[in-house]
């Protein structure tokens, strides 16, 4: 729950509009810490507002846009590692390249992987509360889907599905593991 965890640990935001939204979020949700999974979307929004405000500041900063700014002559790297806090969570990238700069090896650890245990628990909790006697409809599936979208709103991108498409395979089993119902949404 990276965005919400970061805001729960923060004392505020460094830009004015993000600070206003940060204060509004915690006032609405009755203070810290907030543990509601769906509040992750609001926290993500606060961080995106901050990023937009900060980008505007940096894009017009004299020390970055001056003709006196030094441009370094960089060699083609053989290896690169980066860690980025993004709206969907922590992204860890490791790349290796050949002498031409062509990537020969890539290893990515994305937020979905880091959040997989929490995503699975959220889906299970939502399904157990919503699915009664094996009866499922699109509305219930959408509500179960909300459990993982809070952690990963980009899952359709991570699964390489077209925008607006989220393949879903729901299998409802009894306590013995016998399949009671299966719904596949392409």
Q: Are residues 89 and 140 in the same domain?
A: no
For residues 47 and 14, is the Cβ–Cβ distance under 8 A? Answer: no
Q: Would residue 29 count as lying in a domain?
A: yes
- Kindly tell me if the per-residue pLDDT of 163 is higher than 70: no
- Kindly tell me if the per-residue pLDDT of 82 is higher than 80: yes
- Kindly tell me if the per-residue pLDDT of 51 is higher than 90: yes
Residue span of the structural domain in which 37 resides? 2-63
Q: Which residue has the tokens 């020390």?
A: 63
- Kindly tell me if the per-residue pLDDT of 132 is higher than 60: yes
Mean pLDDT, residues 133-137 taken together: 78
Among candidate residues 110, 159, 118, the one with its CA nearest the CA of residue 1: 118
What pLDDT does 149 receive? 77
For residues 115 and 1, is the Cβ–Cβ distance under 8 A? Answer: yes
Strand partners, 178: none
Indicate the pLDDT class of residue 59, thresholds 50, 70 and 90.
very high
Q: Are residues 13 and 47 in the same domain?
A: yes
Number of domains in the chain: 3
Q: Would residue 69 count as lying in a domain?
A: no
Average per-residue pLDDT for the chain: 84
Q: Would residue 181 count as lying in a domain?
A: yes
Q: Which residues neighbour 113 within 8 Å (Cβ) at sequence distance 6 or greater?
A: none
Rounded CA-CA distance 173/180 in Å is 5
Q: Would residue 124 count as lying in a domain?
A: no
50 C-beta neighbours (distance < 10 Å), count: 20
What pLDDT does 110 receive? 80
What pLDDT does 173 receive? 82
pLDDT > 70: what percent of the chain?
Answer: 90
Q: Residue 151 to residues 67, 87, 102: CA-CA distances in angstroms?
A: 42, 10, 33
What pLDDT does 162 receive? 52
Residue of higher predicted confidence among 1 and 58: 58
Q: Determine how β-strand 103-109 pairs with β-strand 168-173.
A: unpaired
For residues 44 and 87, is the Cβ–Cβ distance under 8 A? Answer: yes
Rounded CA-CA distance 68/71 in Å is 9
Q: Would residue 115 count as lying in a domain?
A: no
Q: Would residue 139 count as lying in a domain?
A: yes
Count CA within 13 A, CB hemisphere, residue 133. 0
What pLDDT does 155 receive? 62
């Amino acid at each position: 729950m990276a965005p919400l965890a970061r805001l729960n640990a923060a004392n505020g935001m460094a830009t004015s509009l993000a600070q206003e939204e940060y204060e509004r979020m915690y006032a609405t949700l009755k203070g810290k810490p907030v543990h509601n999974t769906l509040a992750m979307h609001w926290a993500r929004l606060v961080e995106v507002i901050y990023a937009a405000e900060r980008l505007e500041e940096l894009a017009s900063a004299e020390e970055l846009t001056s003709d006196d700014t030094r441009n370094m002559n960089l060699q083609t790297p053989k290896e690169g590692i980066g860690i980025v806090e993004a709206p969907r969570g922590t992204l860890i990238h490791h790349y290796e390249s050949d002498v031409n700069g062509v990537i020969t090896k890539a290893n990515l650890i994305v937020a979905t992987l880091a959040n997989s245990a929490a995503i699975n628990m959220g889906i299970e909790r939502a399904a157990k509360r919503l699915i009664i006697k094996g009866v499922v409809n699109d509305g219930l599936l959408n509500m179960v889907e909300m459990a993982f979208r809070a952690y990963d709103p980009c899952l359709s991108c991570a699964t390489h599905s077209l925008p607006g498409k989220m393949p879903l395979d729901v299998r409802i089993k009894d306590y013995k593991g016998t399949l009671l119902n299966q719904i596949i949404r392409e």
